Amino acid sequence: MILCCPFFSHLRGQLLAGLLSLATVATYAEQVERPAKPTLYLIGDSTVRCGRGNGEGGMYGWGQVLAPHFDTAQINVVNKAIGGRSSRTFLTEGRWREVLEQLQPGDFVLMQFGHNDGGEMFNGSRPRASIKGNGDETREGVVEATGKPDVVHSYGWYLRKYCENAKQHGATPIVLSQIPRDRWQDGKVIRASNDYGKWAREAAEQADALFVDLNEIVSQRYEQDGQVKVHADYFTPQDHTHTSLEGALVNAECVADGISQLDSCELRDYLLPPDQVPAREDGKFTVKRFDFGAGEVARGYYPVTADMTYTPERGYGFEPTIKVENASTDDDPLAGDVCQSDKPFYFSVDLPEGNYRVSIATPRVSPSNPVTVKAELRRLMVERSAEPTHEIIVNLRRPELRDGGQVRLKGREKTTEAWAWDNRLTLEFNGPQPAVASVIIEPADDAPTVFLAGDSTVADQPREPWNSWGQMLPRFFQPSVAVANHSESGETVRGSLGAHRFDKIFESAQPDDYLFIQFGHNDMKIKDADALEQYRRSLEQLVERARAQGVHPVLVTSMERLGGAQHETLGKYPQTVRQVAADLDVPLIDLNSQSRLLYRALGDNLDRAFVDKTHHTSYGSYLLARKVVADIRSQLPSLAPHLTQDAPYGDEGVIPYEEWKLPASPTRDLAASESS
């Protein structure tokens, strides 16, 4: 609605007077001494500061992560941008006045508007549009939502006004063209060079202000990184405008790069050299999303088709062991297409070490086609489920230590067991016809961790039919706890100390984490006269070290060997653990006693629980893990609430072998076979 009447002429005069009155503050500002530490103010919309500026909804503006590019001992960086504002409404709502009240000579103002300058001018719920272009024309009307009259200027007029006011306060204005949206044509980012980018440049020239063509700089960076990465990593799934943390960081780099090219601007002197800009800790990210199948890729997701074998260059893909095919069911871009196989298959993603929450969609499951999910070295995460969605927490680790050393790995840990220590998360999808529609991965730094330290009867075994209770344990926890299994075959407690396995655990552990310690099978083979005493002292030292770090120690007695149903096979070692637990008031899981009862209850099925006289099959390990879980319920009240609803209490009895149907993993030790 356009109106011309004396009332609006009067209104226009009032607005102009109000705007000019802002300039009168400059008279005072010119008399104020330049502060020793100037301030860089950022003004703009949600692409500069999104929401409350705390990353809600996974959305970040580049202004939220710009400060690390500056020497903040010499300059302040204040982000006054606010979401949903246009060049017009940032002024009319009084946001700019708040900045001017603080602006001092020697300060700087970075301004970026444009994303919200289209749309309705007077009508609707968000009347915020400016006049397109860079002229001096105006439009007068009544804002429908408020009933108040308003005089609207051009986009360029508002930018010039900000520049003029900033200069009147002795500050340096810098106009930025808006960051591009995630919109492409023929492999190129669609630029704003014919509209808002052009008008921003013209306004800067007319106001004799500095200009950074951020739209072009960022567009070139996006094209360099590629449409797939930009689409999946830099923008949120909600739309093509708001950036994730990764996208905001990239855009902030581009802002800093643009400022560095302003030869006549003192602001560039406050920039840190690129190699001194603090790196993100451990390369952490906010979220990675993968959409499986050959259909339309959901916004914010990486595409994964059946032919995408893992390569280090891509950083994700299927392990080259099993043929996978694309399949589709409907037009839903996320759940309507899948990757599937008639055999178990693996999917891997490059990630730094840490705990990760993994959300998985498997829409083709049913009671007759349940899905089983394992992680890394066959850690059981989801057991034969007919539910279409699952959430798990997986721990990843690397052998490097912060002091420059590393865990002393055995040869097999670099070959057949390499998945336990490599730089990627590996998921195994198993079942009659396993399929996956989507995977979402995000850091789970807040999740408590249950660390396991032990020997081969606890360790993640790489091949069927070998297994351990430590491999089965994650299945019994809700997605609120991570299980980090640092156990290794052939280890003793002294050997693990010497190999820096405990150094790695304590370096990674946080207060209120848990450390389960079970050794004995190999310790009893040491022939030193004081071997048992050294074993006891090592356990005591580990308990003290854990407590000093705020970690909850838990001692576990070793399960008996195959002959343990009739007689003890581990000498005095289980009793030594019991004594240390009693002396130091440490929670005890007496798996040794529990295993003897279990073996007797198995009767004729006992051989089905063992691969050899010491090591267990998946069936035997599963039963032992249930015993551990039952003791967690009774011995660890702070950890017990994290168990799944179907986790055992200890009085359920033995699951008959004939009723236990966990599918085997593809990797198999052909030299070994289950007794059954």
Concatenated DSSP letters for 276-313? GSPPPGGG--S-EEEEESSSPPPTT-EEE-TT-B--TT
- Is the Cβ–Cβ distance between 363 and 449 less than 8 Å? no
Residue 335: φ, ψ to 5°: -100, -10
Report residue 257 CA to chain centroid gap: 27
CA atoms of 610 and 462, how far apart (whole Å)? 16
CA atoms of 301 and 248, how far apart (whole Å)? 17
CA atoms of 150 and 140, how far apart (whole Å)? 6
Same topology for domains 34-120+160-271 and 283-445, yes or no? no
Residue found by looking up tokens 């005072």 in the block? 28
Convert 158-212 into a string of H (helix), E (strand) and C (coil). HHHHHHHHHHHCCCEEEEECCCCCCCEECCEECCCCCCHHHHHHHHHHHCCCEEE
530 is an active site residue? no
- Is the Cβ–Cβ distance between 349 and 281 less than 8 Å? no
Residue 78 confidence (pLDDT): 98
Q: Which of 71, 208, 225, 239 is catalytic?
A: 239
Which architecture, in CATH terms, is 283-445?
Answer: Sandwich (2.60)
Residue 281 confidence (pLDDT): 54
46 is an active site residue? yes
- Is the Cβ–Cβ distance between 493 and 516 less than 8 Å? no
Report residue 247 CA to chain centroid gap: 14
Please give the CATH topology (third level) of the domain spanning 447-676: Rossmann fold (3.40.50)
Residue found by looking up tokens 């060079």 in the block? 193
Q: Is 450 helix (H, G, I), strand (E, B) or coil?
A: strand
Preceding omega of 6 cis (within 30 degrees of 0): no
CA atoms of 409 and 489, how far apart (whole Å)? 11
Question: DSSP class of residue 469?
Answer: H
Residue 2 confidence (pLDDT): 35
512 is an active site residue? no
As given in the structure block, the two tokens for residue 495 are: 């050997």
Q: Which of 668, 666, 669, 670 is nearest to 345 (CA)?
A: 666
Q: Which of 498, 506, 592 is nearest to 553 (CA)?
A: 506
Domain boundaries, the chain: 34-120+160-271, 283-445, 447-676
Q: Which of 115, 169, 231, 242 is catalytic?
A: 242
Please give the CATH topology (third level) of the domain spanning 34-120+160-271: Rossmann fold (3.40.50)
Residue 27 confidence (pLDDT): 33
CA atoms of 78 and 368, how far apart (whole Å)? 59
Residue 28 confidence (pLDDT): 32
CA atoms of 189 and 218, how far apart (whole Å)? 9
Query: Mean pLDDT per 10-residue run, the chain (676 residues)?
Result: 34 36 35 70 97 89 97 96 97 97 98 96 94 96 93 98 98 98 96 96 98 98 96 92 95 98 95 87 72 92 96 95 87 79 97 97 91 98 97 98 96 95 97 96 96 98 97 98 98 98 98 98 95 98 98 99 92 98 98 97 95 97 98 97 95 92 91 53
pTM attached to this predicted model: 0.83
Residue 432 confidence (pLDDT): 95
